C-alpha cells in the first residue's frame, strides 16, 4: 500500500491534474477489463507496439479509477476528481515503483532465471516451502518487463519469502528487472535454445541472465553445464572479495555442494541419491522425465540452502504435483462450460481465474465452485472477506464453497444480494449432495486446492465424450495474433477468419478470445455460423463471406454483414433491406482481380457504382479481393498484377462515394510477404492457428492445437498373421502393435494407413499398420519399450506438425484441420 504522493516520489513524476486527495494505492492496473479495486487502483497507461493505454483512460475512469500514470500530457481526456501523474516512460516508471516497493521488505527473495523450468520450479518451491514460509510468488509465468513489477507489487508485510521468475529475450532487459526483484538468492535453471535469436551466442545469453544476480548473496546452479559454470566463475571473480557470491552447486558428474550419485526410475517415480556435507541423503519424486528430475534437484538445493531439514524434504518431495501451466476449458454436462483451474490456491490465481470466467459470454449464468484457500499468514476473516468481495463484484450468480474455513465464514457471502451461496464442509459431502443441485447452460469455474481433490467434481460435471482430444492453446493463438500485428503499420485493422468451426478449433471459444484481444472484425462462411456467434455473446462486426440470399433477413436481424460479389446478390440483399425499411446497412464488396472464384469483374464496376449511388439501403463497409498465390515467391508478379487491378477497381468505386470504406487484400501469407499491400485492414486465417504458409516467420508462430488419442489395446502379432481389414497387410516378422482410438470418422485420412504416416508414443515414431478403420487404427510399437494400454499417442502436436500430416495425405493443412470431426473433444488451455 502506498499513497499517490509516495508513488509520485518513487517515479519522479509531475502532476498533470491533482485532485488534492491522497488515496492509498493497493493495485497497479494495466487492463481496464481486469481492475479489482478501482478506488485504490493506479491505472498505468502503457504504450506498446500493439496498443496505447492512453486510449483506455476514459474506460478506466468509467470503471471507477481516479489515479492515472501517463507518458503524454496531451491529448488526454478530462477526468473529473482524478490524479494524473506524468512520466516520460510509463513502463520505466512502473518498474521504478515496484523497485521502491520491493526495497521496503527485508526477507529472502529467490530470483529464478534460465531457459526452461522457471515456472515449474517456482510453483514447486511454493508447494514445498508453503508450510514453513508465507510465500509470495509470480502469478503463472509473469516474468516479463511488465509481469515482473506486477508480481513484486504483491509483496506485503505478512510475507516471509518471495519467489519471482525473470525471463528475457534480448540484451539490456535483465538490467531493468534486477532492481525490481533484488534477489538475495539466485537460481539459474539451465540454458537452452529458447529466445536465442536475440543474442549473439549462448555465452552472451548466459551473461545477460546472470545480471539478475549481480547483487545476490547466494546462487544455485548445476555445474554440469561447462559454459554456465565458466560464466558464473567469471562473475564471481569480477565481484571480488568486497561483494562475494556464495554458490550452492549440484552435479551428477563431479564434486559439488550436492553431488548426485544415483538416479533410478521405477514405474514413473524417480529415486535420487546424493552426497551433502559428507552424508548420503535421498529424495523420491513422482516423475520420471529428465526435466522434472532437474527441476526437483534445483528445489532440493534451495531447501537445503534455506536450512529446511532433510526429513522434510524426503517427506514433501513425493507429494509434488504436476504444475498446471494453464486453465483448461472443457465441454460440460447439460450444455455447460467447465473451466478447470484446480491445484492453484491463492488470491492472485483466483483473480486471474475470475477474469477468464467473466470472458465467457456464451452463458449468461456463471457459477464458482471453490475450496478453502491455503494461504498462511492472512487472518481467515480478512481472507474470506476479500474473496467474498471479489465474487460479489463479478457477474456470478452462484457460489459453492467447499471446506471448513469457507463453511465457517459463509455469512460473509450470504450478505451479498443477488448471489446464491451454498457451503459444504468437505468435497465428499458435496459429492453426496450434488444430485440435489442442477447445472445447465452455465459457465462453471472449478477452483480448488489440491488436497480437496476437485478432479472428482470435474469427472461428474464434464461431458463424457470421445477418447480422442484436441487441445487448443488460446495463449498461443493470442501470441500468433501479436506476431502478425507487429508487422502492421499503426491504424491497420485486423479481420480474423473463424469460418469452418474456426479451422476445426471451435468457433465461439476462438471468437471470444479474439474479441477480448481486440481484433476489429470477424469473418465466417455462412449465416448460421454468424448467428451462433451472436447467440454466444460475440459483439464484434461479422462479415459473412458466402451468404445465401434466402438468409438475408436473418443476417439483418442478427446484425451480420454480407459479402456482395455479383449483381444477383446485390439486388437480392437491397430488395430485402428495402422491404425491412433498413438504410445504410453495412455490406462488403468483393472484387475479382484474378482468383476467378467470386467477385465483381472489372467490366462490372461502372454499373456497380451507379447502383450503389442509387441505393440508400446499403453502406459500403469495405471493398476487398483475394490474392491467388500470395505464399509463392514465383508468383509475386501475378500478385502485383492483382494488386494493380484492385487499385484501379476500388479507386473507381471510391470516386463515387462521399465516405471511405476499408480496403483489404492480404491474407496471412500476404501480411508477411507483401507489406506494401496491407491497405486499411488485413485478413488473418491459417496463420492465426500457427501454420506459416509464407515460410517467412520461422520460429515465430506456434501451432495452437494438438490432437491426442488413447491406446485401446496392445498385442503381439506373429510373423505371417494378418493385421486389419482386407487381409492386405501381413506381419513380415513378429510384431507388437497398438490399437489407438482414432479413425477416418474422426478426420484421420484413410490414406495414412499402411506405414504412410506415424504417431508419437513415448516420444518415438509408431508407423501405421494396415488400413485406417472408421474409429481406430493400428500402429507398430515393436521398437518402443514401455507402451501400455491407456497410454497416449500424439497424432499431431509437439514434434509432429499438422503440415507433416498434410504432406502425407497429399493435401493442405486447411483440409486436415477443418476435417477433425466435431465428435472429437476440444479442450481449451488458457494462461491466466
Residues annotated as catalytic (active site), given as ranges:
499, 725
Strand partners, 276: 258, 279
Q: In angstroms, how far is the first alpha carbon of the chain from the final one?
A: 24
Helices (runs of H) and strands (runs of E) counted in the chain: 27, 38
- Residue 88's CB: how many other CB atoms inside 10 A? 12
- State the Cα–Cα distance between residues 731 and 717, nearest whole angstrom: 7
243-264 burial code (b ≥16 CB/10 A, e <16): eebebbbbbbeeebbbbbeeee
Which residue's C-alpha cell is 491463492? 346
Cα torsion through 391, 395, 401, 405, rounded to 10? 0
At residue 41, the 3 state secondary structure works out as strand
Which residue's C-alpha cell is 499468514? 377
Q: What are the residues whose beta carbons fall under 8 Å from the beta carbon of 181, sequence distance 6 or more?
A: 102, 109, 111, 148, 152, 164, 166, 212
Which residue's C-alpha cell is 459429492? 431
Q: Which of 311, 343, 339, 309 is nearest to 324 (CA)?
A: 343
- State the Cα–Cα distance between residues 409 and 401, nearest whole angstrom: 10
At residue 288, the 3 state secondary structure works out as coil
Full DSSP string of 677-732 = G-TTEEEE-GGGGT--TTS--TTT----EEEEEEEEEEEEE-TT-B-SGGG--B-S
Give, in order, the Cα–Cα distances in Å from 93 to each of 73, 74, 88, 165, 412: 15, 18, 8, 20, 38
- State the Cα–Cα distance between residues 192 and 206, nearest whole angstrom: 10
- State the Cα–Cα distance between residues 542 and 523, nearest whole angstrom: 5
Dihedral over Cα of 631, 636, 638, 640: its sign: positive
User: From start to end of 300-403, where are the E strands?
Assistant: 327-331, 337-340, 366-371, 398-402
Full DSSP string of 551-595 = GHHHHHHTT-EEEE-SHHHHHHHHHHHHHTT--SEEEEEEB-SS-
360-371 burial code (b ≥16 CB/10 A, e <16): bbbbeebbbbbb
Q: Which grid coordinates belong to 571?
A: 439486388
Q: What are phi and psi of 112, to 5 degrees?
A: -115, 130
- State the Cα–Cα distance between residues 346 and 130, nearest whole angstrom: 11
Give, in order, the Cα–Cα distances in Å from 21 to each of 35, 67, 83: 21, 10, 8
Full DSSP string of 618-666 = EEEEEEE---SSTT-GGGHHHHHHHHHHHHHHHHHHHTT-SS--EEE--
Full DSSP string of 336-349 = -EEEE-TT--SHHH
DSSP annotation of 52: B
Q: Which grid coordinates belong to 568?
A: 444477383
- State the Cα–Cα distance between residues 44 and 524, nearest whole angstrom: 36
Amino acid at each position: 500500500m502506498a499513497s499517490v504522493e509516495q508513488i509520485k516520489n518513487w517515479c519522479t513524476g509531475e502532476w498533470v491534474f491533482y485532485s488534492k486527495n491522497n488515496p492509498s494505492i493497493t493495485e497497479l492496473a494495466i487492463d481496464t477489463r481486469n481492475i479489482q479495486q478501482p478506488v485504490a487502483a493506479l491505472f498505468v497507461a502503457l504504450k506498446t507496439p500493439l496498443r496505447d493505454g492512453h486510449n483506455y483512460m476514459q474506460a478506466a475512469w468509467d470503471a471507477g479509477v481516479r489515479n492515472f500514470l501517463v507518458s503524454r500530457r496531451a491529448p488526454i481526456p478530462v477526468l473529473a476528481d482524478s490524479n494524473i501523474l506524468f512520466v516520460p516512460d510509463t513502463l520505466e516508471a512502473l518498474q521504478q515503483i515496484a523497485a521502491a516497493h520491493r526495497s521496503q521488505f527485508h526477507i529472502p527473495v529467490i530470483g529464478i532465471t534460465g531457459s526452461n523450468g522457471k515456472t515449474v520450479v517456482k510453483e514447486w518451491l511454493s508447494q514445498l516451502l508453503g508450510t514453513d514460509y508465507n510465500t509470495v510468488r509470480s502469478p503463472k509465468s509473469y516474468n516479463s518487463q511488465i509481469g515482473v513489477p506486477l508480481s513484486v507489487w504483491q509483496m506485503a508485510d505478512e510475507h516471509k519469502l518471495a519467489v519471482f521468475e525473470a525471463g528475457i529475450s534480448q540484451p539490456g532487459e535483465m538490467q531493468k528487472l534486477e532492481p525490481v526483484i533484488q534477489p538475495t538468492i539466485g537460481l539459474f535453471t539451465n540454458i537452452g535454445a529458447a529466445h536465442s535469436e536475440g543474442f549473439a551466442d549462448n555465452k552472451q545469453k548466459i551473461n545477460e541472465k546472470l545480471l539478475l544476480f549481480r547483487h545476490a548473496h547466494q546462487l544455485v546452479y548445476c555445474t554440469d553445464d561447462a559454459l554456465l559454470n565458466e560464466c558464473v566463475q567469471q562473475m564471481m571473480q569480477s565481484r571480488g572479495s568486497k561483494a562475494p557470491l556464495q554458490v550452492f552447486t549440484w552435479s551428477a558428474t563431479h564434486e559439488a555442494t550436492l553431488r548426485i550419485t544415483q538416479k533410478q526410475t521405477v514405474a514413473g517415480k524417480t529415486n535420487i541419491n546424493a552426497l551433502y556435507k559428507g552424508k548420503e541423503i535421498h529424495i523420491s519424486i513422482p516423475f520420471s522425465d529428465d526435466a522434472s528430475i532437474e527441476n526437483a534437484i534445483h528445489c532440493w538445493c534451495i531447501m537445503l540452502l534455506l536450512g529446511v531439514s532433510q526429513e522434510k524434504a524426503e517427506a514433501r518431495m513425493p507429494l509434488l504435483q504436476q504444475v498446471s501451466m494453464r486453465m483448461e476449458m472443457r465441454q460440460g454436462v447439460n450444455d455447460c462450460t467447465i473451466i478447470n483451474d484446480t491445484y492453484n490456491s491463492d488470491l492472485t490465481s483466483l483473480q486471474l481465474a475470475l477474469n477468464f470466467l467473466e470472458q465467457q459470454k456464451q452463458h449468461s449464468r456463471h457459477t464458482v465452485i471453490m475450496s478453502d484457500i491455503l494461504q498462511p499468514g492472512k487472518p481467515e476473516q480478512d481472507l474470506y472477506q476479500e474473496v467474498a468481495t471479489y465474487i460479489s463484484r463479478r457477474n456470478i450468480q452462484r457460489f459453492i464453497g467447499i471446506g471448513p474455513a469457507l463453511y465457517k465464514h459463509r455469512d460473509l457471502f450470504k450478505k451479498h444480494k443477488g448471489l446464491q451461496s451454498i457451503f459444504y464442509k468437505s468435497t465428499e459431502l458435496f459429492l453426496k449432495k450434488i444430485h440435489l443441485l442442477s447445472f445447465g447452460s452455465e459457465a462453471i469455474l472449478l477452483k480448488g486446492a489440491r488436497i480437496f481433490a476437485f478432479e472428482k467434481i470435474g469427472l461428474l460435471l464434464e461431458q463424457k465424450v470421445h477418447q480422442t482430444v484436441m487441445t487448443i492453446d488460446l495463449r498461443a493463438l493470442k501470441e500468433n495474433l501479436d506476431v502478425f500485428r507487429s508487422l502492421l503499420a499503426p491504424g491497420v485493422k485486423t479481420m480474423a477468419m473463424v469460418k469452418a468451426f474456426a479451422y476445426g478449433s471451435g468457433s465461439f471459444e476462438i471468437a471470444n478470445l479474439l474479441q477480448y484481444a481486440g481484433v476489429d472484425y470477424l469473418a465466417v462462411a455462412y449465416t448460421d455460423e454468424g448467428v451462433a456467434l451472436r447467440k454466444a455473446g460475440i459483439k464484434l462486426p461479422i462479415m459473412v463471406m458466402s451468404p445465401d440470399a434466402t438468409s438475408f433477413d436473418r443476417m439483418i436481424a442478427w446484425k451480420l454483414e454480407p459479402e456482395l460479389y455479383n449483381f444477383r446478390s446485390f439486388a437480392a440483399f437491397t430488395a430485402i433491406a428495402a422491404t425491412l425499411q433498413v438504410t445504410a446497412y453495412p455490406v462488403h464488396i468483393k472484387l475479382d482481380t484474378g482468383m476467378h472464384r467470386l467477385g465483381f469483374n472489372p467490366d462490372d464496376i461502372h454499373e456497380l457504382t451507379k447502383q450503389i449511388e442509387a441505393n440508400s439501403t446499403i453502406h459500403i463497409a469495405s471493398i476487398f479481393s483475394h490474392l491467388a498465390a500470395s505464399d509463392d515467391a514465383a508468383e509475386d508478379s501475378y500478385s502485383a498484377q492483382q494488386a494493380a487491378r484492385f487499385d484501379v477497381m476500388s479507386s473507381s468505386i471510391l470516386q463515387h462515394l462521399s465516405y471511405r470504406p476499408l480496403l483489404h487484400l492480404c491474407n496471412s501469407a500476404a501480411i508477411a510477404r507483401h507489406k506494401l499491400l496491407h491497405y486499411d485492414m488485413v485478413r488473418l486465417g491459417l496463420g492465426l492457428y500457427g501454420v506459416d504458409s509464407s515460410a517467412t516467420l520461422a520460429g515465430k508462430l506456434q501451432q495452437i492445437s494438438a490432437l491426442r488419442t488413447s491406446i485401446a489395446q496392445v498385442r503381439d502379432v506373429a510373423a505371417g498373421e494378418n493385421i486389419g481389414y482386407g487381409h492386405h497387410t501381413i506381419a513380415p516378422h513378429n510384431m507388437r502393435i497398438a490399437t489407438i482410438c482414432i479413425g477416418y470418422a474422426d478426420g484421420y485420412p484413410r490414406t495414412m494407413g499402411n506405414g504412410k504416416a506415424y504417431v508419437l508414443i513415448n516420444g518415438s515414431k509408431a508407423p501405421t499398420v494396415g488400413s485406417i478403420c472408421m474409429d481406430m487404427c493400428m500402429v507398430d510399437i515393436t521398437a518402443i519399450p514401455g507402451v501400455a494400454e491407456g497410454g497416449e499417442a500424439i497424432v499431431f502436436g509437439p514434434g509432429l506438425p499438422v503440415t507433416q500430416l498434410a504432406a502425407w495425405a497429399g493435401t493442405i493443412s486447411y483440409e486436415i484441420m477443418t476435417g477433425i470431426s466435431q465428435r472429437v473433444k476440444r479442450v481449451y488451455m488458457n494462461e491466466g
